[in-house]
Structure 1
Amino acid sequence: MQDQIIDLALELTTVTKAKIADLDQIMLRTQMLSMNARLEAARAGEAGKSFAVVAQEMGSVSQEVTALSASLNSAITENANRIQDAGQEMSLSFRGSRYADLARNAVEIMDRNLYERSCDVRWWATDSAVVDAAENPGAEALRHATSRLATILRSYTVYLDLWIADRSGRVIANGRPGRYGNAVGADVSREEWFRQGMKTADGDSFVVCDVETAPRLQGAQVATYATAIREGGAAQGRPVGVLGIFFDWEPQAQAIVEGISLSEEERSHSRVMLLDSRFRVIASSEKGAFGKSYPLQADNPWGYSLQDGKIVAYGLTPGYETYRGLGWFGCIESAAGAG
């Protein structure tokens, strides 16, 4: 709508200036006729004096109209420029606000997804097969736990693997030993998800780590959730191990950034991103951007700015229910002169 208003205003300006040009031509002809009339009046002598007065007045009127035409042309040009500037500002404001809403929507969709992951890890850590394996890691208990984790993975296809680590940080069971055969026996005692998982206060607590590539999961991008496995599965039980669940980040995040409601024309000169709290790109509609830093200038939870000829719109994670979010941003960068 804003673009239509601008186009109509500019079209009106063009038509008006064309008509003024036509009027100028008419006045030029009038001035020439006035001049010729004065010359003829001079030749007529005394008989032409009255006609000379009329011819002089015609010339004066013509000059006044020409001056008025020039003034009008200048005013129209000035106002047309102001209309164009105001229209461009209106268009940028509309696009910036819309993109900021879409950016916030992108990270909100991801938050809702990750809220479910926080529920999953707390629930599965109380599963009897998981608790038995951590408390009494005999062959039969570990076999049963492995089978149970595999069953979960067949239903929850958004995960790459689920690991049970004992109190010392040694992985004792995983759900996909055929795919990730180097998991069992691995020492994860120094990894963030294990260390923070052992420190969780109770069965309602969990930890989530920044999205990273996981060498033991064939270099896949993962969002790792963890919580302590507690004695007897009780919420206040003593920690006997840690359950780590590895969310298959890349395809889920890619579906979100590519599913944002942009037109084909908008998409051709824009990129949609998810940024973590350190402004690292953790998902992007532009290939190969994962892990790179992005210079986002976010002074508010929501907004947009112009940077180097581009609209940069963003929205901070609002969290979802008990999931407070990790300070992530949705971000859309688009060429300011397009659209």
Structure 2
Amino acid sequence: MQDNNVLKIAYDIATITREKIGMIEKIMQQTEILTLNARIEAARAGSSGAAFSVVAQEMGRVSGGISEIARDFRHQVEQHTESIETAGTSMVNDFRGQRFTDIALNAVEIIDRNLFERSCDVRWWATDSAMVDAVAEPSTARCDYASLRLATILRSYTVYLDLWVVDTKGNIITSGRPDRYPGVKGKNVADTAWFKRAMKTTDGDAFVVSDVEQNSLLDDASVATYATAIRAGGKSNGAVTGVLGIFFDWTPQAKAVVEGVGLTQEERALSRIMLLDSDYRIIADTQQQAVGSRYPLQRKNEVRGYYQDEGRLVSFAETPGYETYRGLGWLGVVEYCLDDASMKRSV
């Protein structure tokens, strides 16, 4: 950071100036001692030392004047150095805050662009004839064929844990990974929010998405669930005949996003990158152990911004959504440790 380099130069100049003033003051102290000794010797010499006494007095006056100038200079340097440090630190932190706010926005935009693609996937696959036929007539043959089609999709789209076809009563009639998750088929999900909302979608262009949550049928993995209605004949305005639910494998994808932001090596050592849901629950964190807890974000309805709190610089940005995906009010957050940064700077 160029501004940080300029500030470091200012600190270095101030330090050097203090050292040189200290050296001047030390020399003046030695000069004053010599002047005092000269006066004593002149007094002992009597009238023959009178001229030398005058020189000694003049040396004392000059020495005192230089010492006064040095003290005044030190005082002014201290004042200006404090002002430089205050202004410089504020300037650097403002620069950091703006930069980290941009990084926070970038992180949440990356994940939302990824999730926009998931909304496209679910609407597309819900029109697949295998899904449409399976819910229209859930025979063993049709459900098995739909499962094969879902398995083919999963081999190409590795970001999903599983895909489910559900009838209008909430019964899972087939899935894409019956070997990996054998307990899925036959389970009823009628009470889940994503199923209820998908059943109420108005047409084939509509979809629903749920915040990240653990799914017990998928070994308690954290997933982002997308769903839409399967419609008669695969038509956008067809009657609702079932629901397609797709489950985005959240943990590895989110980890890749927060760990892949563009930070310098020093910034990365002092920073923590997070994604929060609309309730400020941590859903991704480079420190990992805090996932699921609520982050104490100090925000006053701002879409983005930054602030200092207990030695930390906290920058945040709310998702703007992406194309037809409006987002869920998630935020990217960068927490930067100012105390450690100051310590590194002074080393």
User: TM-score scaled to structure 1, two decimals?
Assistant: 0.90
1:44 matches 2:47? yes
Partner of 2:107: helix, strand, or coil?
Answer: helix
Aligned to 2:308: 306
What does residue range 218-257 of structure 1 map to in structure 2 within 5 Å?
Answer: 218-257=219-258
Q: 2:16 & 2:266 partners in 1: Cα distance? A: 30
Q: Look up the equivalent residue of 1:321 and give its one-letter code.
A: E
Aligned to 1:324: 326
**Is the contact made by 2:35 and 2:59 (CA closer than 8 Å) also made in structure 1?**
yes
Worse overlay, 67-76 or 302-311: 302-311
Q: Look up the equivalent residue of 1:301 and give its one-letter code.
A: V
What does residue range 125-204 of structure 1 map to in structure 2 within 5 Å?
Answer: 125-204=126-205
Q: 1:170 & 1:238 partners in 2: Cα distance? A: 18
- Please report how far the alpha carbon of residue 167 of structure 1 lies from its aligned counterpart in structure 2 after TM superposition: 1.0
Q: 1:17 & 1:272 partners in 2: Cα distance? A: 39
1:335 matches 2:337? yes
**CA pair 178-29 structure 1, distance change in 2 beyond 3 A:** closer
Q: Look up the equivalent residue of 2:215 and give its one-letter code.
A: A
Q: 1:296 & 1:155 partners in 2: Cα distance? A: 38
Aligned to 1:118: 119
**CA pair 82-20 structure 1, distance change in 2 beyond 3 A:** same
- Please report how far the alpha carbon of residue 257 of structure 1 lies from its aligned counterpart in structure 2 after TM superposition: 1.2
**Is the contact made by 2:42 and 2:52 (CA closer than 8 Å) also made in structure 1?**
no
**Is the contact made by 1:38 and 1:56 (CA closer than 8 Å) also made in structure 2?**
no
List alignment gaps of at least 5 residues for structure 1.
none
Partner of 1:245: helix, strand, or coil?
Answer: strand
Worse overlay, 100-109 or 31-40: 31-40
Q: 1:253 & 1:309 partners in 2: Cα distance? A: 27
Per-residue CA deviation, residues 190-219 of structure 1 (Å, 9 max, x unaligned), is 101100000111111000001111110111
Aligned to 1:288: 289
- Please report how far the alpha carbon of residue 319 of structure 1 lies from its aligned counterpart in structure 2 after TM superposition: 1.0
Partner of 1:112: helix, strand, or coil?
Answer: helix
Worse overlay, 278-287 or 267-276: 267-276
Q: 2:130 & 2:322 partners in 1: Cα distance? A: 30
**CA pair 88-230 structure 1, distance change in 2 beyond 3 A:** same
Per-residue CA deviation, residues 219-244 of structure 1 (Å, 9 max, x unaligned), is 11111000111112111111111111
Partner of 1:247: helix, strand, or coil?
Answer: strand
List alignment gaps of at least 5 residues for structure 2.
342-347
User: TM-score scaled to structure 2, two decimals?
Assistant: 0.88
CA RMSD of aligned residues (A): 2.4
